[in-house]
Every structure is written in structure tokens, then in C-alpha cells.
Structure 1
Amino acid sequence: MDYPKLKEEPKLIPIKLDNYKPLREVVFESLREAIINGRLSPGERLMEIQLAEEMGVSRTPVREAIRKLELEGFVVMIPRKGAYVAGISIKDIANVFEVRAALEALAAGLAAERITEEELDELERYLVEISELRESGNLDAIVEKDTMFHDVIYRASRNERLVQIVTHLQEQIHRFRTASLARPGRTRDALDEHKKLVEAISDRDVELAQKLAREHIENAENSMISAVQEAGV
């Protein structure tokens, strides 16, 4: 199968040096973010020279970043052809969402038992902010607030191991969250699901919170699968 070449228009911005991080790490994070946010699409070829020019660096940190991205599953190397952004298979989606559904249900149930009034207020504020952002159509900002909303629930579980496991999956979750929320109507539905979940947690209804959290993730999975099928990746 022939993959499309990297498009001519720049998809990356010049690197801004971070005094606390090595250049290779900054380049790696920049490329990973571009993949997660969809600026570099599944099946897209990663040309070292072009990427280096767009970011204003030499090929060496780009090459190192691509190797690290391959280890994390974001890039695939095809013999005699080069590096490509890894595609997303239905199996990949099912595996990640299966784990996430279990973790989200556990976190929501524990949060219903252990959440503080301050954390409940945080959740309510995020609902308002996400609702406002929907009007502007700023998907990146919606994804950011959606992530922060779920982070409050993880924290409210008071289970450090659970938080560690979720953190380990965070990059894949973020990549899928962006694609899922990009589907027409999904941000509206997700917001409605969030509101019901917050109500259940506020009412200290453990079983309902678990049920709603699991349904929320299942709906996100269905949205993601539809997006992948339509894109044909």
C-alpha cells in the first residue's frame, strides 16, 4: 500500500528552546503533539529534512524523536520506505477503550464516595467552561478542558495507583479523545453525559456513577470508531 507523502504546507511551528529540557526532548514532544492533535495524520510520511526545516533544527534531534515515537507506537518504520505516522485500527481503539471504561467506572465510583465539595465545584465550573467553548467551536480548548474534567474525577478517587495507570495511558487517551470529540454532535452529547455523571457523583450514588462513566466511554469509543471508518485509516 502506498502512503501519501507529507503535504507541502507547514504542520509544525519553529521550536522554542526550553531551558529545562534537552532539544531532542522538545522536538519529540512537538512531533508527538502534532500526531495526537491530528496535524500529522495516520499514514502520513515523516520526512526528516522537511520536519527539521519547519521546526528550525537539524535532522539529528528529529531522527532521535522519530525513533522514540516508534517505541511508543506513534510511528511505524517501513523497510526501504521510511517512517510513517501509525494508523489507528479498530483493535487499537477497542483495547484502549476497554481499559479506559474499567478505569473510568472505578474512578467515578470511588469519587462518588470520596470527592470533596471543592472538587465538585471544579467539575461544575468545567461544565460551564466547556459549554461556553462549544459556542466558539474551539476544539483544542474543549479537549483540554475535557481532559481536566476527567483529571478531577481521577484525583477525587483518592487512589494513587489508579491515577498512575491512567497517566501511563494518557497519550493514547488524548489522541483518541481529540478524534472522538471532533465528530459532529459529539461535544454536545459528551457535555450532557458529563452533567449526568456529575449529578450522580454529587448524589453519592456509586452504582449510577459507575454506570454513567462506563456508558460515556462506550459512546466515545463508538464515535472514535465511526471517525476511523469514515477516514479509512
Structure 2
Amino acid sequence: MGREPLVPIKLDSYKPLRELVFETLREAIIKGQLAPGERLMEIQLAEELGVSRTPIREAIRKLELEGLVLMVPRKGAYVASFSLKDVVEVFEIRGALEGLAAALAAERITDQELEELQRHLVRSSELIGNADLDGMVEVDTGFHQILYQASRNERLGQIINNLREQIQRFRQTSLSYPGRMKRAFEEHREIVDAISARDPELARKLAQEHIENAENSIMQVLRLEKPNAPTEES
């Protein structure tokens, strides 16, 4: 019973130790290794990562500010759960912004950026064949990042970036749903075709549908979770 221990921190980076600890815990939460509702025990995490409690404590505070950790008075720190309401609210915003990004990209994208999108499609196809969820999450993130860049609207990218942590967590959950990786790839290909054809309205429509389908996948995953999991808040 219990989860797999986290891998000890490797000091082979120029980054400060506290930043490495923060990134390690953040990634473990996003990937679900530290599950929603799990209590974060400073001593245990320090032992697993091979560090003192101080950087663990600092990382937990930062994760609380990002909404990934919930501090419960007299009980401690827990990995924050997300409810169906959380999903709906984030995806209402994301659908509108992604649609706008795709429409603007259809008007402003460069040939080099189009080539990058095509390369992401090729890589996605390889990852689906290997059932590589982590790799697919990374490529999916990069695909959408190119769309934000190609929109030539920095503020749009900044607004989406404010939802980064929630989006990454939801992305991992969505792509874990059976068949979703393949369908997401097909939806990406349709979006790229619309952008290549310089059709803003079609690109907007397809991007919004893509986000709606991702949301539906997350809903299915949440409904399959344990009945007592704190995900059904209204």
C-alpha cells in the first residue's frame, strides 16, 4: 500500500537546491505521483529527496501560492484536489483563449512556426505508438505554446500562463483517458490544417472543440475516481 517514493534530488544543475526541490514536488503533483488529498509529510519527503526539511517547507509554501497545495489548520499540508467546478471554470476561460490564439495564428503564423507544428504532429504520432503519456504531455504543451507565440499577442500568452499550473494538471489527467491521446493528435492535425489554410474562423472553432473534448475527458476520469474523493464539490 502507498505510493512509490520520490527519486532523490541530483545536484547536477546550476539551479539552487530549493528550486530543484520545488520543481520536483510540483512535477510529482502534476503527474499524480503525489495524489490529490495526500498529506505532505515534511520528514518523509525530506528523506525521499535526500534533503533537509527547510527546502521542503519552502517548496510547500510556494505550491500553496500556486494552488497545488492546501494548508489545513492544525492538520498540515495536503495536495489540493480539484472539483468539477474547477474544471468547468478553467476550461471556460481556456476555450475562449485557445480559440482566439488559433484564429490569430491563422493570420500571423510564420512558415517556420508552421513547420514546428508539423514536427510536433510527427512526434505525437510516435509517442502514441509507444503509449508514452509523459512524452505526450510535453509535446502537447509545446504545441499549444507555439500557437500562443504565433498569435503575436503577448498579453494573451500571459493570461493563459496564469492558468499554467491548473492546465498542466488537467492536461495530464485528460490525456490519461483511454483513446484521448490519439483523438487529441487528430484534433491537433485538423487545427494545423486550418491554420495552414489561413482560415481564422475554422481554426477558432476547431481549437474550441479541442478544449471542450479535453474537458469531457477529464470529467470522465473524475467520475471514475473513488466516490469519496473530494472532486464533486458544487
Distance across 2 between alignment mates of 1:52 and 1:202: 50
1:82 aligns with 2:89: no
Alignment counterpart, residue 24 of structure 2, candidates 13, 22, 30: 30
Cα drift, residue 140 of structure 1: 0.3
The one-character-per-residue Cα deviations of 1:7-41 (angstroms, maximum 9, x if unpaired) are 2631x111123654332222111101100011111
Counterpart CA distance in 1 for 2:3 and 2:101 is: 44
2:119 is matched with 125
Partner secondary structure for residue 93 of structure 1: helix
In 1: Cα distance, 2:163 partner to 2:72 partner:
25
Whole-Å separation in 1 of the counterparts to 2:40 and 2:148: 35
Q: How many residues align?
A: 227
Question: TM-score, normalised on structure 2?
Answer: 0.93
Counterpart of 1:215 (choices 209, 217, 220) is 209
5+ residue gaps, structure 2: 230-234
Q: TM-score, normalised by structure 1?
A: 0.93
SS, match of residue 165 in structure 1: helix
Secondary structure of the residue aligned to 1:133 is helix
* 2:177 aligned residue: 183
In the alignment, structure 1 segments of 5+ residues that lack a partner are: 1-5
Distance 1:67 1:170 in 2: 18
Q: CA deviation at 1:79?
A: 2.6
Q: Deviations over 1:136-161 (max 9, x none)?
A: 11110011011111111111101111
1:110-149 counterparts in 2 under 5 A? 110-149=104-143
Instruction: Work out whether residues 127 and 191 of structure 1, in 8 Å CA contact, stay in contact via their aligned partners in 2.
Output: yes
Partner of 1:168 in structure 2? 162
1:19 to 1:135, Cα distance in 2 relative to 1, 3 A:
closer
Q: Which residue of 1 aligns with 2:195?
A: 201
Mapped partners of 1:220, 1:101: distance in 2: 10
**Is residue 2:48 matched to residue 1:54?**
yes
Check conservation: 1:112, 1:209, Cα contact below 8 A. yes
Residue in structure 1 matched with residue 232 of structure 2 by the alignment:
none
Cα distance, 1:9–1:190 mapped onto 2, change above 3 Å: closer
